[in-house]
Amino acid sequence: MKNINKEPDFKHIGNKLLSWYEKNARDLPFRQTKDPYKIWICEIVFQQTRISQGLGHYNNFVARFPDVKTLAEAEEDEVILYWKGLGYYSRAINIHKAAQQIMTDYHGKFPHEYEEILKLKGVGKYTAAAVSSICFNGKMPAVDGNFYRVLSRVFADGFDISNSRAFNYFSELAHLILPDQVGDFNQAMMDLGSEICKPKNPLCRECPLNEDCLAFSMKKVSEFPVKAKKMKAKDLELKYYFVHRNGQFLIQQRKDDFIWKKLFEFPPEISDALVPFVVGVKTVSHKLTHKNLSIEIYNVEVLSEEVWNHFIAENSYLTTDVESSHEKSFPKPLETYIRNYEEAYRFL
């Protein structure tokens, strides 16, 4: 970090960014509001989902749960259902819990202060900074990957962005250029990072910061940001049994929280009595963050009513059919399997 201890004046960089933002801000629907509830939901939704992909889901979500109270009073399963298509279901569970927390700890009023917002379930420093700055004039930079990329390029700073201290490091760097209107600045950084200072092929000639950007002037833009270690995805094998009879099949809600917490799944094992009814197996691959899944799904068509009833009596699985399965949330590969079965079953 160059000269960081001498506190040089880099505020003009932040101000240039603000002037650019005034003319070039993207016209996003959630920018029309300062409602902290909606800003919070949208920050969570768009953390990992592209705006074009997530907008429809976001609109559906806030249409069904327009405020903290409605969300807090909803059933968890319904919240998860409305999160369908956005992945990362633990976020939906956390949002639901946080809404209840706001009702009990803050009398239903969204907290204003960064430190208080940070206490909400599932809310990290980035989201707390974004909500407090956009809605309540808070002064914390909402440091995310865009900040890492832009700041490391502007200052030609080789601090490893995969280092566990990167967040603190780049927050400190961000404070050097932070103007007074922090809410607009945070949104400007988001737009600059996604439209101009993109990870690949940044549009430096159009960039409002190009005169100040060290990486650009040294023709070393492609060398920043620096990322040292690469997390290797782990391989994971799963096995499921799609146990069905006359259009009905067996499911259970997951308790394991290492993936797919609270989603529904097929039985992961069957008894010996069901083995003769296995009519096929399908292997599907599915990628999650840091995990490559290989899932074997056995098709078990139970022709004997007695065996079916016995298996149900001996286990705690729920019985469902294709119609009512639409009201439950399944991991993507299982959802696809059910929809294929639904198609096939319709022609029987």
CA separation for the pair 119, 139 (Å, rounded): 17
Indicate which residue of 7, 22, 43, 265 is catalytic.
Answer: 43
Choice between 98 and 209, CB closer to ligand SF4:
209
Which of the ranges 86-94, 157-165, 167-175, 209-217 carries the binding residues for ligand SF4, by CB under 6 A?
209-217
150 near ligand SF4 (CB under 6 A): yes
204 near ligand SF4 (CB under 6 A): yes
DSSP collapsed to 3 states, the chain: CCCHHHCCCCHHHHHHHHHHHHHHCCCCHHHHCCCHHHHHHHHHHCCCCCHHHHHHHHHHHHHHCCCHHHHHHCCHHHHHHHCCCCCCHHHHHHHHHHHHHHHHHCCCCCCCCHHHHCCCCCCCHHHHHHHHHHHHCCCCCCCCHHHHHHHHHHCCCCCECCCCCHHHHHHHHHHHHCCCCHHHHHHHHHHHHHHHCCCCCCCHHHCCCCCCCHHHHCCCHHHCCECCCCCCCEEEEEEEEEEEECCEEEEEECCCCCCCCCCEECCCCCCHHHHHHEEEEEEEEEEECCEEEEEEEEEEECCCHHHHHHHHHHCCCEEEEHHHHCCCCCCHHHHHHHHHHHHHHHCC
Choice between 178 and 213, CB closer to ligand SF4:
213
196 near ligand SF4 (CB under 6 A): yes
Q: Pick one of 215, 270, 274, 295: the residue that binds ligand SF4 (CB under 6 A).
A: 215
60 near ligand SF4 (CB under 6 A): no
Which of the ranges 12-20, 64-72, 146-154, 319-327 carries the binding residues for ligand SF4, by CB under 6 A?
146-154
Residue 218 Cβ vs ligand SF4, minimum distance, rounded to whole Å: 10
The answer to whether 335 is a known catalytic residue is no
Q: Pick one of 159, 216, 249, 330: the residue that binds ligand SF4 (CB under 6 A).
A: 216
Q: Pick one of 210, 252, 319, 336: the residue that binds ligand SF4 (CB under 6 A).
A: 210
Choice between 149 and 245, CB closer to ligand SF4:
149
Q: Pick one of 154, 176, 274, 302: the residue that binds ligand SF4 (CB under 6 A).
A: 154
150 contact partners, CB below 8 Å, separation of at least 6: 189, 192, 193, 197, 209
CB of 72 closer than 8 Å to CB of 96: yes
138 near ligand SF4 (CB under 6 A): no
Residue 146 Cβ vs ligand SF4, minimum distance, rounded to whole Å: 10
Q: Pick one of 92, 176, 207, 270: the residue that binds ligand SF4 (CB under 6 A).
A: 207
Segment 296 to 335, residues that bind ligand SF4, using CB under 6 A:
none
Q: Pick one of 54, 111, 183, 202: the residue that binds ligand SF4 (CB under 6 A).
A: 202
96 near ligand SF4 (CB under 6 A): no
209 near ligand SF4 (CB under 6 A): yes
188 near ligand SF4 (CB under 6 A): no
| The length of the chain, given as a count of residues | 348
Segment 219 to 238, residues that bind ligand SF4, using CB under 6 A:
221
Residues assigned a catalytic role: 43
Point out which residues bind ligand SF4 (CB under 6 A). Answer: 150, 153-154, 196-197, 202, 204, 207, 209-210, 213, 215-216, 221
